[in-house]
Amino acid sequence: MRTSQAENDSAWRLRLDLASAKALMLVGSSTPDEDIDPDVHLFFYDRYWRLAALHEKAGRRRRAAGLRARAEHHFKFCRGGGPPYEAAAAAHVPRPPMRILAFGSDAGDNPDDVA
């Protein structure tokens, strides 16, 4: 019989996952305000949610509620529900592409006069 991933979790392992991911983001980002990839948000959501489940099981409901709030925050960003991007909405609609038919003609007597 297989056990679920949540049954094999330890609080220290989940905390280590979170700390190492945050450290990698700090080292790997060029600016502090750089956007985080949705997959990274999904990773944080998963770890915070599982850590909240462990705290809930141990009877620490207040701590579990805080961790679930963090998880839900990351879930909002991993599914594309981040802050609205007004710049894209305010941009003008581009004109449709034009079709141009260009045909060449015989150069005649002076083949060097192409332009």
78 contacts: CB under 8 Å, gap ≥ 6? 38, 39, 41, 42, 45
Tokens, residue 34? 């750089």
Q: Is the pLDDT assigned to residue 28 strictly greater than 80?
A: no
Q: What is d(CA 70, CA 49) in angstroms, rounded to the nearest whole number? A: 8
Matching residue, tokens 């905390």: 15
pTM > 0.85: yes or no: no
pLDDT of residue 2: 40
Does 1 have pLDDT greater than 60? Answer: no
Q: Which carries the bigger pLDDT value, residue 48 or residue 87?
A: 48
Position 47 pLDDT exceeds 80: yes
How does DSSP assign 2-58, residue by residue?
Answer: PPPHHHH--HHHHHHHHHHHHHHHHHH-SSTTPPPPHHHHHHHHHHHHHHHHHHHHT
pLDDT digits (tens, 9 = 90+) for 56-113: 998 999 999 999 999 998 888 776 554 555 555 666 777 888 888 777 666 566 666 5
Distance between CA atoms of residues 13 and 20, nearest Å: 10
User: Quick one: average pLDDT of 36-64?
Assistant: 89
Region label for 47, one of left (φ > 0), alpha (ψ between -120 and 50) or beta (otherwise): alpha
Which pLDDT does position 52 carry in this prediction? 93
